[in-house]
Structure 1
Amino acid sequence: MQSRTSSSSRVFRGGGPFKEGLKRQRIELSLPLIAATDLDDWPGGVRQQFKAIQPLVEQILKLVKQVDGLQGPLVPEIWDDGDAVACWRSQNLAAVVFPTAQTLKRVKQLAEGPDAPSLLLIINPQWDERGSDFGFGPWRREKEETAAMFQTTYWLRQQRVYGDLVRVFRAHPGLWQAYVGQAFAGGASGGPTELLLELPVRPSYQQIEDKLRAMPEASINKSIMERMDREFKFNKDSLNRK
């Protein structure tokens, strides 16, 4: 599996998705941990996450700004200080980082207004489409429709599934992929990976779980004591790398 930097650069260098007509894009970046503790990856909350994501966003915008029609200085704006929602904006290009369900109306205004940029990116949205973040009834439908305007062109997210590290990845125009890290022997992230599945749509948690159950060495097939032992080794290795 490619590194976060190389794969995201490959997608946005030359403005590939934009040149193909994708003017409303969603990006999901996996953030490097900063100031993590043994009990909390982000003791500073979303503001600390903003410090981690800012250089990644700026790197992407530097690549995108090289595309004809997207040049120009970007002006930063704070939309919500408490939730660290920010926007970089020029006449031709805009990127909203950490948008929330509460700021979706403003995202829609930016996307459809008379001064709408040629390319609008939303990066690491904070909402959960499956929960109640979007509310209910017509309010929910309106927010769902706004979120659906944005097509995912890059996605890298990782999660622990019964003790094993799973990364879900997509780089436009490729398929969605799910990889499992070799935490089978107690190893931490960054080790060898194995492709679990490849689909045209984002894999569900249940699909990932079903694939892991078919792997005898996966933690999901181990006893509770074995999983606890592997988790202890994983945490120990993670702390030793800091």
Structure 2
Amino acid sequence: MSTILVTGATGTLGNEVVQQLHTRGHHVRAYTRQAQPAVPTGVAVFQGDIRDGSGLEKATKGVDAIIHCATFFGEVKATDLDGTSHLIKAAQAHGAPHLIYVSIAGIDHSPFSYFQAKLGVEHLIEQSTLPWSILRVTQFHPYILSLIKDWEDEQTSTITVPAGTRFQPIDTREVAAALVQLVEQEAAGHIPDIGGPEILTIEDMIETYQRVLHKKGVIRAEGPEVLSGEYYDAFRSDEKLIPDRAVARITWERFLQEWAEKLLK
């Protein structure tokens, strides 16, 4: 089997990628800032910080492919743009490993600065001398759950959301499976996007959240005069939706049910 490096290996997606690669018998390297991350036995940990490139020279030596999951909204230039430049430079010094990148659907149609940074990362990869594959996906289930919890005021049982928001949520397990499949194929450039199985309003998603968790509360939808800025504008935009690529199978309700079951254990 191949030797695969995973950046962002302890993140929501990266951790799942590591698990699936390990299950399929690949030799897996987890690149992370953590000294002792929780990874399966047999996974090699390479500690470093992609923001300054530390540890990448050693981590990329001898790998057949790299699945690049590292990203951070709060430090998008340092982590995504500068980090990818460091990664490409290190990888190029050791031959031509297949660089696989997970990106976001619709970023070439949005002015949102985070999306534009992700598009910039795509351009860095396209212009590198490495063989590459880029897969764009819709928003992850755990990410939307984190938004809802951030917007929820437990004291007043009110969830305030940007009006007119729709998502096409996708499960990280299905995204990870698609990335692992790319490892086992030749580099293919831009792969057809994959999106979740359904397009839902944020109100519908919250109603399901409340029903599954046996919660009651008020959903308050606010316009741009209250919830303003590019962050909320990006949520309201339908550019992130890909109805013609609704190929994933795990629904929002199924994700929530499984998540709620884990909470009870």
TM-score (norm 1): 0.35
TM-score (norm 2): 0.33
Q: Answer 1 or 2: which has greater helix percent.
A: 2
